[in-house]
Structure 1
């Protein structure tokens, strides 16, 4: 077992949550902006799925590299560094509007965002109190999705053409750097940290790993292809912004409920319930194309999709000691990233027909619900505790 010096006891939450919220606003706007702005830079919109996948491939690569960086420089400096790298990748895109540069920028951005997520998740999850972990993760997810929801309205405020949207996003990312830059207290105290070998990884909850994987498939597809699918459905930019906001607002609204339920029932069964909620949401879209009904259905989809990751990651960490938390969050992010990288490529085949993306979500979530229902009947595996 490899041991490093990193952080064991939980620290304050203001710095990571404040920085995360502003980052989420910028990220939410950027994820919807990229597929919609491609036309103004004379890049084929059919390339959107590749840009989404390369971002999540970067997330996958980054998830394997973050742990030693945090161990060496600490959570606060790592947070600042990863945000700065992300800002640089955003600046590159409008300056060099061609496919190859955008692919490289999104790959690097994915690696930086992996760092941001592992830093924040481990910062908030370090500590041995399960209730405190669930509470902190609920605050984290609410801040993440609340900020991402607000970011969707950047489409209406700053538009999707030219340099202005990218400048606005860069400014927001720089603002996100301010809390960790000026507030030096609050990061977790440094003590012994352990990485996981294959034996320890194999003892992690399988439903937790599958939950993160499916979350990545669904979330990567939502961010990467949903704006494009809505445009193909003849939705205006204003409506696309509202519908994307509805998805993320649904995800934000479900977080307190998920946090409460995760302490009272089997998390594996809860993963099945959230998957079935998404199946129900997609079923609604088969009966009507009414705009308000679509808003409601996509809000339910957001509740389902955005609930999977926090449930899965707390399930993975439930029986782990604090010295394994960074390693566990890195493994869960890796699983999420695999799903995120493959999801848009698999879903791209469904875009050729009307409502095709909804078919994709229906199949993925129904399969997940069935697996989780069977898994919930099995005895909980013994997981590493310290």
Structure 2
């Protein structure tokens, strides 16, 4: 990677890392505080869902704001709003006020991700996207691990200290972006494939993306509740959650390489079966601290790998012209799953007890296992068209990061093997429509609906 490319990517990645440390343990902090205050699992699930609702809304609409005001000012605005919502949560306790603050915070957080991901997207050519995505993934997961480990440290400082630390980190994350030259890259207005088109193209990819959103959101928002209720201290909860994220970080690549060498549907079946076994072990084995640590590490590797393997499987079927819109559509499906998950699983925990979390995990994983097995019997998976790419972007603009040069070339080479004209619309990219420059800088062009898409049967 050239020095120029690294210099352009360094500022947004550093901002992401600083913000991610605080954001990494905020969901855990909110869950354990609500539980300590005596709130039910259902209330905790409702408050947790607000964040994912905000993420979904921001992923759909924040690009319009970014196009108008530019990257640097948008980043400062979103990061400041994250800091304000977190500090307000530290000032007073009310579950329904926290619901509103978490919704606003989710909307602002995905705005930060949008700035970073769109910046990285245009920082280099398509052939270096894989390396940029790897740096992005390392920054995101490393910040999450460090943040979870800081939970116990900051909690020991006082009731409001964790919220103050998270607010300060959100404010500090603005500095790297504020010190770079005032030149913003151009971005395109996202137009993801609609759900019915995605279902026609890749039912396995759709269910894998939806299911991944459900289990990952439950891991972030409800697993800390389970850990605290089985008697762990706040510090221990943070350590266990750090192991979950570390498992996601370290196991995603070997699982992805496995999927490059084998039928990706079989890999999805294997991941689902593995998650069923982990859930059964959590329910029925006597859990010592070492065994629990191993199980949670493996659980993180399993549930976080489901989405990237599902997206890679979907890319094996998609024509080159639909890859970007397909990736954006699957990300939206994933967001819907994350929004629904706490609302669906927390009542189960209220009804049957804390073990309801792993009954839900096991039940969902069994559904995935049966569906993926059925789909493989109906329509076996094609050969992989390109190497696996770890998928961590949070926005539709960033979803394009996974569309590497190898993936496009592979899709072009395999298009003649199967007629996909009925499943995917033909995509035509028109010339950009250039509007007035943004106020922040004359170098920032306003692109209104850059990708003009026409659909014909």
TM-score (norm 2): 0.71
Cα deviation for residue 32 of structure 1 reads: 0.9
Unaligned stretches of 5+ residues in structure 2: 383-417, 430-457
Aligned partner of 1:347 among 345, 348, 352? 345
Report Cα offsets for 1:208-243 as digits up to 9, x if no partner. 332221121112111211111112112222321221
Aligned partner of 1:209 among 203, 206, 209? 206
| Alignment match, 2:12 | 16
| Alignment match, 2:303 | 305
Native 8 Å contact 2:345 2:357 kept in 1: yes
| Alignment match, 1:147 | 143
| Matched residue SS, 1:65 | helix
| Alignment match, 2:180 | 183
| Alignment match, 1:270 | 267
User: Within 5 Å, which residues of 2 pair with 1:1-386?
Assistant: 12-38=8-34, 42=37, 44=39, 46=41, 47-124=43-120, 129=126, 132-159=128-155, 161-184=158-181, 189-190=185-186, 195-196=191-192, 198=194, 205-261=202-258, 263-285=260-282, 286-314=284-312, 325=324, 330-351=328-349, 352-353=352-353, 355-376=355-376, 377-378=379-380, 382=420
- Judged with a 3 Å threshold, the aligned counterparts in structure 2 of structure 1 residues 185 and 210 are, in CA distance, closer, same or farther, namely farther
| Matched residue SS, 1:366 | helix
Report Cα offsets for 1:233-261 as digits up to 9, x if no partner. 12222321221111111111123324544
Q: After alignment, is 164-173 or 255-264 more displaced?
A: 255-264
| Matched residue SS, 1:80 | helix
Native 8 Å contact 2:79 2:108 kept in 1: yes
Q: After alignment, is 142-151 or 271-280 more displaced?
A: 271-280
Unaligned stretches of 5+ residues in structure 1: 1-8
- Matches of 1:374 and 1:12 in 2, distance apart? 46
- Judged with a 3 Å threshold, the aligned counterparts in structure 2 of structure 1 residues 379 and 222 are, in CA distance, closer, same or farther, namely closer
Q: After alignment, is 215-224 or 77-86 more displaced?
A: 77-86
Q: After alignment, is 315-324 or 203-212 more displaced?
A: 315-324
- Look at both structures and tell me which one has the larger radius of gyration over its CA atoms: 2
Cα deviation for residue 134 of structure 1 reads: 4.4
- Judged with a 3 Å threshold, the aligned counterparts in structure 2 of structure 1 residues 288 and 207 are, in CA distance, closer, same or farther, namely same
Report Cα offsets for 1:174-200 as digits up to 9, x if no partner. 22222222224796x437656246486
| Matched residue SS, 2:222 | helix
Q: What's the C-alpha RMSD, in Å, of the aligned pairs?
A: 3.4
| Matched residue SS, 2:285 | coil
- Judged with a 3 Å threshold, the aligned counterparts in structure 2 of structure 1 residues 12 and 211 are, in CA distance, closer, same or farther, namely farther
Cα deviation for residue 64 of structure 1 reads: 1.9
Native 8 Å contact 2:49 2:339 kept in 1: yes
- Judged with a 3 Å threshold, the aligned counterparts in structure 2 of structure 1 residues 15 and 367 are, in CA distance, closer, same or farther, namely farther
Cα deviation for residue 141 of structure 1 reads: 2.8
Structure number with greater CO (CA < 8 Å, separation at least 6) is 1
Native 8 Å contact 1:156 1:237 kept in 2: yes
- Judged with a 3 Å threshold, the aligned counterparts in structure 2 of structure 1 residues 72 and 378 are, in CA distance, closer, same or farther, namely farther
| Matched residue SS, 1:251 | helix
- Matches of 1:262 and 1:81 in 2, distance apart? 40
Q: Count matched residues.
A: 374
Native 8 Å contact 2:224 2:241 kept in 1: yes
- Judged with a 3 Å threshold, the aligned counterparts in structure 2 of structure 1 residues 175 and 331 are, in CA distance, closer, same or farther, namely farther
| Matched residue SS, 1:56 | helix
Report Cα offsets for 1:3-27 as digits up to 9, x if no partner. xxxxxx9995323332222222111
- Matches of 2:134 and 2:273 in 1, distance apart? 21
Cα deviation for residue 119 of structure 1 reads: 4.1
- Matches of 2:273 and 2:203 in 1, distance apart? 19
Cα deviation for residue 51 of structure 1 reads: 0.8
- Judged with a 3 Å threshold, the aligned counterparts in structure 2 of structure 1 residues 339 and 158 are, in CA distance, closer, same or farther, namely same
Cα deviation for residue 201 of structure 1 reads: 5.4
- Judged with a 3 Å threshold, the aligned counterparts in structure 2 of structure 1 residues 192 and 355 are, in CA distance, closer, same or farther, namely closer
- Matches of 1:176 and 1:322 in 2, distance apart? 36
